[in-house]
Each structure stands twice: as structure tokens, then as C-alpha cells.
Structure 1
Amino acid sequence: MTEETSRPPLPDHLSTDARSPHHVAAVFEFPIGIRFNGKERLDVEEYCISEGWIKVPAGKAVDRKGYPLLLKLKGTVEAYYR
């Protein structure tokens, strides 16, 4: 099997948070790239290609449970394997 065929397809909606129903652990075994509005972003926590948004941390702000606060940015989203 080649490396290309052993990779699972990237889902339309993916989250890095293991508590989320949109978290797919098999995808994170490979490096993933996110291009947002034509620029590569390295700080994306969650994305949805069909709805056109990403969620990124809002600086160092955290909620009362210690998880980062996320900002939702809208635009063109492209996910790919590096």
C-alpha cells in the first residue's frame, strides 16, 4: 500500500478536541494543513469546509475549565495532507 492510499479521507468537519463528536483520531496520525482565504494557518482548532469557517484560539484567554476560548472566522477553507 502506498502512503497516499493508507490515509483516511479528510472529513468536511473536523475538530482537534477529543471531546468533540467531530474528532477523528485516525486523521491526526498524519500532518494536516489548513488554507484559509489563501493563507496557511497553523492555529486552527476546528474547521468546516462546506459552511466555510474555522475556529482559532482567542489569544491566551481560557474558559472556567481551562480550555481556550475560540473565535469563529468565516471564509474559504481548504484542508489537505502535507
Structure 2
Amino acid sequence: MTNTTERPALPDHLSIDPRSPHHVAAVFEHDIGIRFNDKERMDVEEYCVSEGWIKVPAGKTVDRKGKPLLIKLKGKVEAFYR
């Protein structure tokens, strides 16, 4: 396991899509966990801690470019390193 001093601080708003302005590649070099309403979620595509929302895929539905359609869920969001 890596030392916590080597890890960058988790941003308030983060996206896994590399084309997003909220994508931080250095954070994804480490294993990240998201807790939503006190339950760990493994399917989070984007989150914002201060606004209290996450975006997750809406089933198997995809848009015309093949990307999953996302729905926004509101609640208590916590991001952490595993």
C-alpha cells in the first residue's frame, strides 16, 4: 500500500471521463472509493462532494456515441482512498 503523503488531495468534483474538465489523471493512479448515503458504490462515473450528488449509469442504455446515459442521484457523498 502506498503512503498517504504521496497521494494527491481528492478534489471536490471528479469525473472518470478524460475529456471532462473535472478529470484529474493523478488521482486515478490510486484506488478510490465513493460512499453514497453511507454505502460504498462501485459504479460512480462522476461526483461532487459539496453539492451532494453522484452520476451513475442508467442501466444498459447508451447514447448515440456508445457512452452510458447517466442519472444524477442526490445525497451524502464521501470520497476516500482505499
TM-score range, shorter chain: over 0.9
Superposition RMSD in Å: 0.8
- Structure 2 match to 1:6: 6
Gaps of 5+ in 2: none
Counterparts of 2:19 and 2:65, CA distance in 1: 13
Aligned to 2:28: 28
Extract structure 1 runs of 4+ deviating beyond 2 A. Answer: none
Looking at structure 1, the residues matched to 17 and 36 of structure 2 have their Cα atoms a distance apart, in angstroms, of: 20
Is residue 64 from structure 1 mapped to residue 58 from structure 2 by the alignment? Answer: no
SS in 1 for 2:72: strand
Q: C-alpha separation between the residues in 1 aligned to 2:37 and 2:49?
A: 12
TM-score (norm 1): 0.97
Aligned to 1:79: 79
Percent identical pairs in the alignment equals 80
Q: Residue 43 of structure 2: SS of its match in structure 1?
A: coil
Look up the match of 1:18.
18
